[in-house]
Structure 1
Amino acid sequence: MSTSDVTKGGIRGERPGREAEVGRGLRPGRRGRRGRRGEELMVPQAEFTSYYGRPVITPPSWQARDIAGYFFLGGLAGAGSVLAAGSHLTGRRTAARALKISSTVAIAGSAAALVHDLGRPERFANMLRVFKPTSPMSMGSWLLAAYGPAAGAAAVLDVTGLLPRAGRTATIAAALLGPAVAAYTAVLAADTAVPAWHEGYRELPFVFTGSAAVAAAGMALMTAPPEENAPARRAALLGAAVETAAVRAMERRVGVVAETYRHGRAGRLMRAARVLTALGALGAALPARCSRPAAAVSGAALLAASACTRFGVFHAGVASAEDPKYTVLPQRERLERRQAEQAGKSGETERAERAEQP
């Protein structure tokens, strides 16, 4: 119990060694909010928390089979149209026809998954009432509306042999729209508040594009004869390299949020994707050149790898939204970086002012 008392002459009866020390026990180099340069905080930095431990943001309520399937099938369709156009223009008729058909089926499945998630088909039609270039959802809806008929016409005219010039035009149109169809879902996901998607906005389009190329190459290896699969084998190697490099770059840059891509269901799927991609790319580079069964096995591995990547990204997003730390900590890190940058600029200004003084 303290026996000190405040009098006109000061404090009487105080116990020695009880004076408050500013910033004692805290990390050096911290600045007070209003203090002069070099002062330290009197209280430690507060830890993050949330109301009753509930998520800070609302986790996605989408079904994995709908949205992750929508991601995967859209990528397969878009990249497949690019490979189909290349095969068509270089005289690889069997490969071109198989890829045109697979792209048509894939985009139909992708649209069906999207409509199923929306609940009612008219909701997709309602999205076409507005053309907004700054909205990934609006632009994605228009992309699907333009790409689907082009891919379907290319497949139907190739199978029937009717209107070869119109079929060639439809093939080229689908190939021009294909890369956007394969990549726009990454922009759509990164435009949300889900930390694992939003924080990876720089690399996620490359992840999706590489994964789409892997899927289209796998489909071509499964359906085309070995003498026509040279472009597919090159696409498999390129797509695998792009996807692997983009995933690693994203995990390094996003900081603590990268944990969601390494643990739990998402971690298992991403590891399976890496193994299957490596096996499929190795098979595409070696035995698929001369063996139809080997090409089919490699193609199946590449398709499975692409699907694992899309489902892994989806589940990482759900996990990051359910844990409040993946929402709070990145915000705090950005705030600390901005404060450090401002402090550095203030220090440079002070040094410049002192240097100008006589």
Structure 2
Amino acid sequence: MSDSPPREPRSDAQAGDRNAKTFGRRRRGGGGTREELMVPRAEFRSYYGRPVLKPPVWEWKVPAYLFTGGLSAGAALLAAGADLTGRPALRRVGRTGSLAALLASVYLLVADLGRPARFHHMLRVAKPTSPMSVGTWILSAYGPGVGVAALSEVLPAGLGRTWPGRLLRASARPAGLASALFAPAVASYTAVLLSQTAVPAWHEAHPHLPFVFTGSAAASSGGFAMALVPVAEAGPARALAVMGATAELVASKVLEKQLGLAAEAYTTGKAHRLRTWSERLTAAGLLGTLVAGRRSRAVAAAAGAALFAGSALQRFGVFEAGVESTKDPKYVVVPQRERRGRR
């Protein structure tokens, strides 16, 4: 027999203490005791260590497509204004640059699709609820005017005296103005396209991405024209660059401050490095444009190149933030819990 003293019998409350430490606590009421469960907060894990969402399989062609589309839209807008105000050098650079950027954008989009016929298939239907379908039709309406206006600028003098050449040049202004009407939609629809996906960093940023992308498009096209057009004719390009760079920098900071948890995807890792350099180059280009952009061709070219590069890095940074946000379950789980709690 053991010499240890006998244990005292435990009450029901004492017997539940160990479980209460783990699962909850017991409360006494008029009818006795009852247990209130307190479930520990779940960890952000998924089966077999896999993410909740699959990362996008897109390559560098997609952020490049986002950039060239915005560049084309801004250049078309500049070209239309230059045509109406008698700035031939700015008009020529805007029209030809807009077509070159558009062709690059279409190539990048079709190459990412894998099979060119897939782009043709998207023209078989018009679905207003699909950003991809709407964007396809916007590009289809925008592209012909850009092409006609640009071809009129590179038409040889001999062909210009023939009746097809005269018809092409007579159609250049209406075609350029028509493309300018669709330019704002071309510059911003890709932001809507991204924000309608399930990627957390893009979906949560849907109120801010259109402002970031539109400002980025204006900054890049303004910088592009500043680098190639004499300062005497580049006044509208400088104005567009200043407005675009300011809008891009402000919208980017607002996105970081108001996005909540998903802002971490933009402020950490590769996305943060790309966007930091984007902000530096855009700020430097903005400063150079304001200080000496109208007096020095060299400063204008350098500032324009900085704005151009900063805009491109902005698109790549946003793309990388989206990819990273699919790799951590918390970017999916926490917003869902917050929305459920608000309801």
Alpha carbons of 1:273 and 1:14: their partners in 2 closer, same or farther (altered >3 Å)? same
Counterpart among 56, 61, 72 of residue 60 in structure 1: 56
Aligned to 1:108: 103
Does residue 51 of the first structure (1) align with residue 47 of the second (2)?
yes
In 2, Cα distance between the equivalents of 1:41 and 1:225?
74
In 2, Cα distance between the equivalents of 1:51 and 1:306?
39
| 1:220-260 deviation per Cα after TM superposition (whole angstroms, max 9, x unaligned) | 10111101111111111111121112112222222111111
Does residue 303 of the first structure (1) align with residue 308 of the second (2)?
yes
Does residue 215 of the first structure (1) align with residue 211 of the second (2)?
no
Runs of 4+ off more than 6 Å: 21-27
Does residue 188 of the first structure (1) align with residue 184 of the second (2)?
no
In 1, Cα distance between the equivalents of 2:304 and 2:90?
13
Task: Please tell me whether the aligned partners of residues 188 and 214 of structure 2 are also in contact (alpha carbons under 8 angstroms).
Answer: yes
The structural deviation recorded for 1:263 is: 1.2
Alpha carbons of 1:23 and 1:76: their partners in 2 closer, same or farther (altered >3 Å)? farther
Task: Please tell me whether the aligned partners of residues 23 and 43 of structure 1 are also in contact (alpha carbons under 8 angstroms).
Answer: no
Task: Please tell me whether the aligned partners of residues 108 and 148 of structure 1 are also in contact (alpha carbons under 8 angstroms).
Answer: no
In 2, Cα distance between the equivalents of 1:94 and 1:215?
18
When the two structures are aligned, how many residues end up with a matched partner? 317
Mapping of 1:1-358 within 5 angstroms?
Answer: 13-14=9-10, 18=14, 20=16, 42-64=38-60, 66-160=61-155, 162-163=166-167, 164-338=169-343
SS in 1 for 2:248: helix
The letter of the residue matching 1:53 is: G
Aligned to 2:28: none
Larger deviation, residues 250-259 vs 124-133: 250-259
SS in 2 for 1:57: coil
| 1:334-354 deviation per Cα after TM superposition (whole angstroms, max 9, x unaligned) | 22222xxxxxxxxxxxxxxxx
The structural deviation recorded for 1:43 is: 2.6
Identity of aligned residues (%): 51
**Under a length normalisation based on structure 1, what TM-score does the superposition of the two structures give?**
0.84
Larger deviation, residues 191-200 vs 328-337: 328-337
Specify every segment of 5 or more residues in structure 1 that has no aligned partner in the other structure, as ranges: 5-11, 28-38, 339-358
| 1:112-168 deviation per Cα after TM superposition (whole angstroms, max 9, x unaligned) | 000000111111000000011111100111112221111011111133364443110
Question: Alignment RMSD, CA only?
Answer: 2.2
| 1:67-125 deviation per Cα after TM superposition (whole angstroms, max 9, x unaligned) | 00100000000111111111111111101110110110001000000000011111100
In 2, Cα distance between the equivalents of 1:102 and 1:282?
24
Alpha carbons of 1:13 and 1:19: their partners in 2 closer, same or farther (altered >3 Å)? closer
The structural deviation recorded for 1:174 is: 0.9
The letter of the residue matching 2:199 is: V
**Under a length normalisation based on structure 2, what TM-score does the superposition of the two structures give?**
0.87
SS in 1 for 2:326: helix
Alpha carbons of 1:23 and 1:229: their partners in 2 closer, same or farther (altered >3 Å)? farther
In 2, Cα distance between the equivalents of 1:144 and 1:41?
57
Task: Please tell me whether the aligned partners of residues 215 and 306 of structure 1 are also in contact (alpha carbons under 8 angstroms).
Answer: yes
